[in-house]
């Protein structure tokens, strides 16, 4: 079924997830695609971006993958919504350990190499596929669809503690807490070079590219720059490397990796911001702890993290 809308009126969208065709009106010229979808469909910006990421948006009959695409008067924007709000496929065979749980929330131990949630309706082998099989009440929580219960994310190659909401009330509370930087997150990382002591760092970060994601340190007045803060402390030393713990004060895409690399101490195994020649199976970054009020969970170092640290030459007795 196809519903057409010439623009300007109330958004035409049905609960049955029908396709929609809309024509860009003159007053909507130069609007970003995601903003256009928000206004026309009365959805959140995150939901609009997920439709775009899933390949469900066409402009003049061509799939458009970029949320920031500027629209022109008279263009036809088509929305394919049939499956975009469907929950991920439950996969009980996936082994994702539960670190802690309480009323309305759970913390799971995300393995390295496993995405947090699917980007496409039939995508499998993500943390959320496993969680839905064990906690079906999470379906429809928060943003719903392919991001049921998700309140924050970890990079695909980062392991460790991941907090999810299993009720809408808790989801709203946790999203607010993350937005106000009230959730305390600690990471462990093996980095190049020697760091001593403890220090608080501030840097202004900006997303330089979305796909694949790339973040840069920028000046404070750069467009889109955001002030980001963390504190690192050295906990162990090797001959040419340091094991550090990092407490995040803000949450920004790739923040720990980018800020450590900017200091001259990139994370071992980080091919984007570090060195491509490292002898490591992935970036050695692990989300070791998360804390917010009564929510507390710790994730032990995974086996690959331990193996890399044990393989590093030890610190010489002269230090």
Query: Residue 115, class by beta-carbon neighbours within 10 Å (0-12 exposed, 13-18 middle, 19+ buried)?
Result: middle
Among 249, 135, 144, which Cα is nearest to 203's? Answer: 249
Q: In the chain, where does DSSP find H-type helix? A: 33-41, 45-53, 127-134, 168-179, 255-262, 303-311
> And the tokens for 174?
């946790």
d(CA 111, CA 95): 9
In whole angstroms, how far apart are CA 132 and each of 4, 106, 136, 265? Answer: 35, 12, 5, 38
Q: Is 155 a catalytic residue?
A: yes
* Catalytic residue selected from 34, 85, 143, 155: 155
Query: Residue 149, class by beta-carbon neighbours within 10 Å (0-12 exposed, 13-18 middle, 19+ buried)?
Result: buried
Contact 51, 34 (CB under 8 A): no
Catalytic center residues? 155
């Amino acid at each position: 079924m196809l519903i057409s809308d010439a623009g300007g009126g109330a958004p035409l969208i049905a609960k049955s997830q029908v396709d929609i065709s809309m024509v860009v009106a003159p007053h909507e010229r130069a609007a970003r695609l995601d903003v256009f979808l928000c206004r026309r469909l009365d959805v959140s910006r995150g939901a609009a971006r997920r439709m775009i990421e899933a390949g469900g948006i066409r402009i003049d009959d061509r799939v458009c993958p970029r949320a920031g695409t500027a629209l022109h008067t008279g263009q036809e924007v088509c929305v394919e919504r049939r499956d975009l709000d469907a929950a991920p496929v439950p996969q009980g065979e996936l082994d994702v350990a539960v670190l802690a749980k309480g009323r309305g929330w759970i913390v799971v131990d995300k393995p390295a190499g496993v995405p947090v949630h699917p980007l496409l309706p039939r995508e499998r082998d993500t943390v959320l596929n496993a969680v839905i099989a064990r906690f079906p009440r999470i379906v429809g929580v928060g943003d719903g669809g392919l991001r049921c219960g998700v309140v924050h994310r970890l990079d695909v190659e980062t392991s460790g503690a991941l907090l999810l909401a299993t009720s809408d009330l808790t989801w709203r509370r946790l999203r607010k807490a993350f937005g106000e930087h009230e959730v305390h997150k600690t990471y462990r990382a093996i980095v190049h070079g020697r760091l001593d002591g403890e220090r608080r760092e501030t840097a202004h970060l900006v997303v330089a590219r979305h796909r694949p994601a790339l973040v840069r340190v920028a000046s404070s007045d750069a467009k889109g720059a955001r002030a980001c803060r963390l504190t690192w402390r050295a906990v162990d030393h090797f001959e040419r490397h340091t094991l550090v713990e990092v407490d995040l004060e803000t949450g920004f895409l790739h923040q720990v990796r980018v800020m450590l690399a900017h200091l001259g101490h990139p994370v071992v195994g980080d091919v984007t911001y570090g060195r491509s020649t490292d002898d490591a199976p992935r970036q050695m970054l692990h989300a070791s702890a998360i804390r917010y009020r009564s929510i507390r969970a710790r994730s032990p170092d995974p086996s690959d993290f331990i193996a890399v640290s044990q393989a590093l030459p030890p610190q010489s007795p002269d230090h």
